Structure 1
Amino acid sequence: MNGKLLSELEKGSKNAQIKKRIINYYIENGDATIADLSKELDLSVPTTTKIIAEMTDDGFVIDYGKMETSGGRKPFIYGLNPASGYFVGVDIRRTFLNIGLINFKGEVMELRMNVPYLFENTPAALDELCSIVSSFIAEQGKKSDNILNITINISGRVNSETGYCYSAFYFEERPLSEILSDRLGYMVSVENDTRAMTFGEFMCGIAREERNIIFVNISWGVGIGIIIDGKVYYGESGYSGEFGHVSVFDNEILCHCGKKGCLETEASGSAIYRIFMERYKNGENSILSKELDKGKTINLGDIINAANNEDILSIEIIEEVGDKIGKYIAGLINIFNPGMLVIGGSLAATGDYIALPIKSAIRKYSLNLVNKDSRIVISKLKEKAGVIGACMLARKKVLELSR
């Protein structure tokens, strides 16, 4: 059934475009009568009736029976069949991944967080990724027959339109999306992790009612996602959002991009980790000191948990980094004047410890007339933003209309 449904939606015909519009209408507005649909789509009632009949036969649409009315002829209600298509989202992190499945209505059917996975730029890591995704799909039973797209988030320079990823798994001249499609047996798309998080927050999180958004992903690195007038902004070449690699510091710290002075060398999760370890080695105390004294290794998550358990050293470092990054976020607000700026990523879990210094710096460094209508908020979806966004983007890619 997967092949039939997907081939129907992939057709470039006018009829296929109308069917996509109908599905998008049902997703955004819910069930409707043929009269309502024909009015919304500016089609005749006979044409709409014919297309709905085809979509019912194909399994996209369900006849929900007659509408209850106070009198007169009762019209039939039609709506999207949620089981006619499923979409998989994969959000790759440094030491684990999150994977989920939604139906055509966007309802989460399966969500697995913190699946062990070591993200390395090696063929073995790519093999392991494919193995995890394949196992997840196999466990979905009959739903796997109707999976229409898989979207996989990867940090760094990812072009979702061409399917190329230049930050990881660039072992062949072919697009990574094509390689993954061949290996997994489904249509696969790749996406930048921060853009996926942004879209997840826009579709299902705190930014649902907004049209102009900046999402700041403060994790091991730093990136931004931008939504302008309700649409994800990709930039001319598909690589917008490399906020962490703006050169702002006069330092000798080498960024993973190969340059020095990048924002994320002093204002990111990796910077927090480095500074914490330096201060510990200089004799400053923390609730993590006992573990470190025993020779145990800690990670960024441990520092975040320590801050949330009122560890003074961790809180101080996070607040210092919040102030630094807030100064440059103020510049983003001056440029884009967003309705909402969402603080997301791993550091969002620290709540006000990261948010308050950012807000203070924004008030200090951005223009009052520009920032007065910009709400600064913490991500609602938090660690789920990436995987939910990947699922929603998988659906969006199938339903995009031809230009």
Structure 2
Amino acid sequence: MKSIIDIFSPLKSDLITNNAVLYKTALLKRDILSFLIIQNKGTIAELSQATKTSIPKINETINELITEGLVIDHGKILNGVGRKPNIYGLNPNSAYFLSVEVNRHNINIAILNFVEEIVHIERDIPFYLQNTPACFESLCHHIDTFIEKHANDRHKIVSIGLNLTGRVDHVSGNSYSYFNFHSTPLREVLTQRFGVPGYVENDTRAMAFGEYAKGVVENEKNILFINLDDGIGMGIIINGALYSGKSGFAGEFGHMPFLNNDIICHCGKKGCLETEASGVALTLQMKEALLKGISSSITEKVNSIDDIKLQHIISAAKNDDILAIELLSKAGEKIGKGIAILLNLFNPELVILGGKIATTESIILLPILSSINKFSLNLVNTDTSFKISTLGEDAGLIGSSLLMRNRLLDLS
């Protein structure tokens, strides 16, 4: 059985000029798979109409895709009258994508199949993100261990995607915030290290794309995804396409410098939104409040104040802890003011809140909406819907696999 990479290599190789037949066949196969990705299943007649290709040619190409293991014949349609056509769909196990999400204190790794289903996953693997060769080697070790444990068909893993916080240019494959000490782009380092094409993306953009394609989005095409986690990020969808900016830096919402404080952000500037409203800021504020003698149920869950993490605050808030709710409310007011500026700039159809802090739902959403009503233009905010992510912590892993699949099939 051919590798899926070999099947579509004419789309990206010199065969474009040297063998037009192979190129046209690869294009048709891509179009058929694209139709099945969107529609889930289809008949020969539907595929012929969608691709504007003759039925005999579609029939021949479908048979090739079945032989190559990418398409499954689901048999004949049971309903209706007259001659029943066969219906075809993607083979979920024809290819696997390895998605790796690196957070500041943990990593999540998953294998997803060709129809975006999570086959194996490990969440919250302890990890401390640093921009050092030792940290990168530790990450690679975790990935190797995961593959050894879960990838029985390792040869079917066709790509590895790495979601990183900070500034990432997916086009060049460079990460400018972490693991940027190699002589080649990080994408190429991953490719050489694991023997399959690598893909690097900003974590929030991957989450935004996952939510857009498989999550809470319905028919909206202009969307802002706000990632409320240890940091604050933003993914931008314009006319259904993920927007990255000229150098891949678009969406640095957490570094909007509109707060009047002297707190130095990790980016080196003062007054960034992250300095008072991010998960890191909330954790620091909680520790300072407890040291001042303010009570919280969190003290019963940790050995010392130094052990407090963002998840403790979120859990406490969900269990009606007054201090945790108060801190989240104050953060929500600042986040809402920032989003109000974004609404005035982008006038989006939908704003999605994701990340760990968004799991508190109404606790964070209500102060955000209150602040938006106060600071944004009324005509703008009433024209925008607000929703909480439905994919939750899996959004980035799913988004990464979708982006890898699109890249493999050369889809925009």
Name 1:125's counterpart in structure 2: 135
Equivalent residue in structure 2 for 1:207, among 197, 217, 232: 217
Distance 1:161 1:285, change over 3 A: same
Distance 1:68 1:287, change over 3 A: closer
Deviation at 1:294, TM superposition (A): 4.7
Matched, 1:390 2:389: no
Deviation at 1:279, TM superposition (A): 2.2
Please, what is the CA RMSD of the aligned residues?
A: 1.9
Equivalent residue in structure 2 for 1:187, among 185, 197, 203: 197
Name 2:315's counterpart in structure 1: 305
Is the contact between residue 287 and residue 308 of structure 2 (CA under 8 Å) also seen in structure 1?
no
Name 2:18's counterpart in structure 1: none
Distance 1:69 1:295, change over 3 A: closer
Is the contact between residue 221 and residue 268 of structure 1 (CA under 8 Å) also seen in structure 2?
yes
Name 1:5's counterpart in structure 2: 4
Name 1:265's counterpart in structure 2: 275
AA of the residue aligned to 1:11: P
Q: Which runs of 5+ in 2 are unaligned?
A: 12-22
Name the CA distance, whole Å, in 1 between partners of 2:325 and 2:131. Answer: 32
2:408 is paired with a residue of what secondary structure? helix
Distance 1:275 1:62, change over 3 A: same
Is the contact between residue 100 and residue 391 of structure 1 (CA under 8 Å) also seen in structure 2?
no
Is the contact between residue 286 and residue 313 of structure 1 (CA under 8 Å) also seen in structure 2?
yes
Deviation at 1:191, TM superposition (A): 0.7
Name the CA distance, whole Å, in 1 between partners of 2:115 and 2:326. Answer: 44
Deviation at 1:60, TM superposition (A): 1.3
Name 2:63's counterpart in structure 1: 53
Equivalent residue in structure 2 for 1:20, among 30, 55, 64: 30
Q: Which runs of 5+ in 1 are unaligned?
A: none
Name 1:39's counterpart in structure 2: 49
Name the CA distance, whole Å, in 1 between partners of 2:330 and 2:4. Answer: 52
Is the contact between residue 201 and residue 385 of structure 1 (CA under 8 Å) also seen in structure 2?
yes
Name the CA distance, whole Å, in 1 between partners of 2:300 and 2:343. Answer: 42
Name the CA distance, whole Å, in 1 between partners of 2:280 and 2:306. Answer: 18
Name 1:173's counterpart in structure 2: 183
Corresponding pairs, count: 401
Superposition pairs for residues 144-293 of structure 1, below 5 Å? 144-289=154-299
Deviation at 1:291, TM superposition (A): 6.5
AA of the residue aligned to 2:165: S
Name the CA distance, whole Å, in 2 between partners of 1:204 and 1:179. Answer: 29
Deviation at 1:196, TM superposition (A): 0.9
2:74 is paired with a residue of what secondary structure? strand
Which structure has more RCO (C-alpha within 8 Å, separation ≥ 6)?
Answer: 1
Deviates more, 1:353-362 or 1:99-108: 99-108
2:172 is paired with a residue of what secondary structure? coil
Deviation at 1:32, TM superposition (A): 1.4
AA of the residue aligned to 2:327: I
Is the contact between residue 88 and residue 394 of structure 1 (CA under 8 Å) also seen in structure 2?
no
Name 1:76's counterpart in structure 2: 86
Name the CA distance, whole Å, in 2 between partners of 1:245 and 1:366. Answer: 19
Deviates more, 1:286-295 or 1:108-117: 286-295
1:211 is paired with a residue of what secondary structure? coil
Give TM-score, length-normalised by structure 2. Answer: 0.92
2:289 is paired with a residue of what secondary structure? helix
Name the CA distance, whole Å, in 2 between partners of 1:124 and 1:96. Answer: 16
